[in-house]
A and B are shown apart, each in its own frame.
Chain A
Amino acid sequence: MRLGEPARMQAAINITPLVDVVLVLLIIFMVMAPQMRKGPDVNLPNTTKPNSQGDERGRILVSIDEAGGLWINDQPVAAEHFDETLRAAVGAETNPKIVIRGDAKLNFREVREVMIAIEQEGFRGVGLIAKRAGAEGK
């Protein structure tokens, strides 16, 4: 390193910080991706053409596991506390959207009972989550 040398090197764009930032972003996304699947392991029903359920802003995940146990986001919830827990989860969301992750082995009755409980909190529409046939993921 002679004096005077660095001034000429400045002519090229220094991309090292760019690489740093991009790598960190990449790592953040790679770490976040599995955590976005909140809640229990649910064996989702296989269908051919499910529609995208929007992004995760305002999304509240209600899971029903194989045994019929209820989960709101990543917390198990007893059936008798479902209403108030859901209300708390909705909280101050401006545009809440409730999606149900039901296990493929469930009877329709168990899903319908949850839908009715959700309706009583004032939600008319829900999303029923499915897995595109052949796709990976839970």
Chain B
Amino acid sequence: MQFNSNDSGSTLQSEINITPLVDVVLVLLIIFMVVVPLLIEGYDVDIPRASADTLPQVAESQLILSIGSAACPILSPPTGEGIPKDCQVTLADQKIPVAELPARVASILGGRPAEQRALFLAVDDRLNYEGVLRIIDLAKSGVEDLKIEFVATN
């Protein structure tokens, strides 16, 4: 393009350089494309089969976490982050403070193969939903790939 640099070279300079604009717009586009599908986050849980006539056999290896409204009085959305200190939960028939939950779950389920890492949850109906989700979150922080399954509360 050297041969006509006088003429068309100066003409090109008069145009806006849109390469940075394209850069910025492409990056924005990529950000949006990546972020939009990730907007929703949550916890995968299994529901008990209420329609079944017979209760499934409770196997020895099933780890049951009961959250009662007496021992863990989260009846309204907890303020701030985390779970109130006075909350106690029952894990495998042992009453423990909720703060110990990740360590206990890890020590019981950590050695099992990933597909057997399941925590069965019996939750009091009166508890606040946000509190329940925070306890699930805490339990999941102990072990990777923890499966959460609700059991019917009686």
Contact = CB atoms under 8 A, between A and B. Distances in A.
B90 interface: no
Interface of A: 5, 8-9, 11, 15, 18-19, 22-23, 25-26, 29-30, 32-33, 36-37, 45-56, 59, 99, 102-112, 115-116, 118-120, 123-133, 137
B132 A49 contact: no
10 contacts: A11-B1, A26-B28, A46-B81, A49-B137, A102-B129, A108-B123, A108-B132, A112-B150, A120-B51, A130-B42
Interface stretch (B29-37, B93-101, B103-111, B112-120): B29-37
Given A22-B29, A46-B81, A124-B46, A130 B8 contact: no
A51 B76 CA distance: 24
A5 B8 contact: yes
A51 B22 contact: no
Nearest to B124: A108
Nearest to B77: A104
A119 B76 contact: no
Given A125-B46, A129-B42, A22 B22 contact: yes
B53 interface: no
A128 B137 CA distance: 11
Contacts of A131: 41
Given A50-B137, A132-B41, A137-B39, 13 more contacts: A8-B1, A19-B25, A22-B29, A30-B32, A32-B36, A50-B42, A52-B41, A105-B77, A105-B130, A125-B44, A125-B46, A128-B136, A130-B137
How large, as a class, is the contact surface on chain B?
35 or more
B125 A45 contact: no
Nearest to B37: A55
Contact of B150 (A50, A56, A115, A130): A115
B131 to A, nearest CB: 8
Contact of A130 (B33, B128, B133): B133
Contact of B129 (A22, A25, A53, A107): A107
A49 B127 CA distance: 21
Contacts of A123: 47
A93 B101 CA distance: 38
A49 to B, nearest CB: 6
A36 B36 contact: yes
B137 A25 contact: no
Report the 9 A-B pairs with minimum CB-CB distance, sorted nearest first: A45-B130, A109-B125, A50-B41, A129-B42, A104-B130, A55-B37, A29-B32, A47-B137, A119-B47
Given A26-B25, A108-B123, A47 B134 contact: yes
A128 B45 contact: yes
